[in-house]
Structure 1
Amino acid sequence: MEQRITIHIVGGNSRSRAEQSRLIMAMGHHAEVYSDLVELIDRPPRSGVIIASGDVLACGIGRLLDNLADAGVWTPVVAAKPDPQVEEVVQTIQAGALDFLPLPLSQQDLTRVVAHFHSDAGRHADARRRLIDARRRIGALSPREREVLDWLSQGCSNKAIARNLEISPRTVEIHRANMMGKLKADHVAEAVRMRLEAGLMIESEESLPEESDAPDTGATLTRKAANN
């Protein structure tokens, strides 16, 4: 038998949670049961895998993962519902879930999740941990420091950022230095990577600088960020 893991069951009705728990324990694993997301966050899991269903998924897997990230929970999440459609499964995996299971759970499906957990959960948890850490650091930035980071992520120079924010280049340098200090980043490329790891996007599509200062993409953008 594979190594015993803890599976955290959250959401759905009490009967469904009881059925999942019985199957998990019958297969030699440990089950922890939570009635809702509030209860789970109040006793946050630090290992194993979360199986989420019912009302916990009502706002979508993306929102659930965001809520867990805000609470500092990076345990891999498996979504579960009766008769999931192919598109739902694809979107859920793309959003960051470890897997998507049909309800009621079968021993075969649960065995697959446990195998997936052992083969991939370490990488998955590391990515979630980096996301949470990046969001926490970026959340400490002032609005102006965040704007500077957003424009740096577009490959803009201090001069171009100053023009877009209607402030002096010297002021941009001050905000940039403060931003780098709060992020504990040694290079602009590290700050940009942290922003990407946090899954953050510029909230509004503002006009970009003149053509001579316009951002490049691909390797050119990476090179610019590394040299700034």
Structure 2
Amino acid sequence: MDRRRTIAVVDCNSRRRAAMTHAFSGSGIHVEPFETIDELADAWPRAEAIMVDDSGDAVADLVMLMAENGRWLPIIAFADDPSTDQIVKAVLAGAVDYLAWPCDAAQVIGALIGAESTGAALGSLKLREARARSRVQRLTRREREVLAGVAIGLSNRLIGEQLEISPRTVEIHRANMLTKMGAQHTSEAIRIAIEASLVA
């Protein structure tokens, strides 16, 4: 007998949530419905994955929420008649799969099976990236510019020349940058910048 699967569904459209719950329940998929990402945050689901209506920045917001809470579940985005650009954006933001609604339970089970194989590795990577981005976002524009210079191996003097500030000012920005990022040394700040995709 096939095992019963559980999926969280985040969708502000109550009719669609109800339709999913009804359509999937006959095929051994239990749906935990949530109206918003905030509601999901208040009662973290016991699911294998999260299906989220891909409206606005829902996928990126969900990845950020998971990074802040140190929890990861694979994200399967969905939308009515999604465009190629919409699908690409969602996958780049952290979705492991994308389904066009309406879809059937077999498609959802296929997405869950795929999420099992790729979700853990991608989840770890996306969590690290989201955490790193939140640390970089604490920096001022100038501190980010200094970080970018440090990350490509420029000295304080060369960074200063590039930014038209003194090497001493670069040094001050560098010290502030390390403190705000919670980095013990420059190499750690560079690693965080790479994880945040600030530098290649």
TM-score of the two chains, using structure 2 as the length reference:
0.77
Q: In structure 2, do the counterparts of structure 1 residues 199 and 67 end up closer, same or farther at CA, with 3 Å as the change threshold?
A: farther
Look up the SS of the partner of 1:177 in the other structure. Answer: helix
Assess if the C-alpha contact under 8 Å between 1:45 and 1:75 holds in 2.
no
Q: Residues 86 and 67 of structure 1: is their aligned pair in 2 closer, same or farther, counting only changes over 3 Å?
A: closer
Give 1:137 shift: 2.0
- In structure 1, what is the equivalent of residue 79 of structure 2? 81
2:191 is paired with a residue whose SS is helix
Q: Provide the rounded CA distance (Å) in 1 between the counterparts of 2:42 and 2:87.
A: 28
- What is residue 112 of structure 2 aligned with on the other side? 114
| Structure 1 counterpart of 2:31 | 31
Is the deviation greater in 117-126 or in 138-147? 138-147
Task: Please name the residue that 1:14 is paired with.
Answer: 14
Is 1:99 paired with 2:97? yes
Comparing 14-23 and 99-108, the one that deviates more: 14-23
Q: 3-state DSSP class of the match of 2:52?
A: strand
Runs of at least 4 residues of structure 1 off by over 4 A?
Answer: 1-5, 44-47, 85-88
Q: How many residues align?
A: 196
Amino acid at match of 2:58: L
Q: What runs of 5+ residues in structure 2 fail to find an aligned partner? A: none
Displacement of 1:149: 0.8
Shift of residue 84, structure 1, vs aligned partner: 3.6
Show the counterpart of 1:214: none
Q: 1:176 to 1:46 in 2, by over 3 A?
A: farther
Amino acid of the structure 1 residue aligned with 2:10: V
Q: 1:131 is aligned with what amino acid?
A: E
- Structure 1 counterpart of 2:51, which letter? I
Q: 2:59 aligns with which of 53, 58, 65?
A: 65
Percent of aligned positions with the same letter in both sequences? 37
1:16 touches 1:104 (CA, 8 Å); kept in 2?
A: no
Secondary structure in 2 aligned to 1:167?
A: coil
User: Is the aligned partner of 1:163 residue 2:157?
Assistant: no
Partner Cα separation in structure 2 for residue 150 and residue 2 of structure 1: 51
SS in structure 1 opposite 2:10? strand
TM-score by length of 1: 0.69
Structure 2 CA distance for partners of 1:144 and 1:94, relative to 1, 3 Å: closer
1:127 aligned to 2:121?
no
Aligned-residue offset at 1:109: 0.7
Matched residue, 1:52? 52
Between the aligned partners of 2:85 and 2:138, the Cα distance in structure 1 is: 36
For residues 172-204 of structure 1, give each alpha carbon's deviation from its aligned partner in whole angstroms, at most 9, with x where no partner exists. 223223323443445544423322322447xxx
Larger displacement relative to structure 2 (20-29 or 155-164): 20-29
Aligned counterpart, 1:172: 170
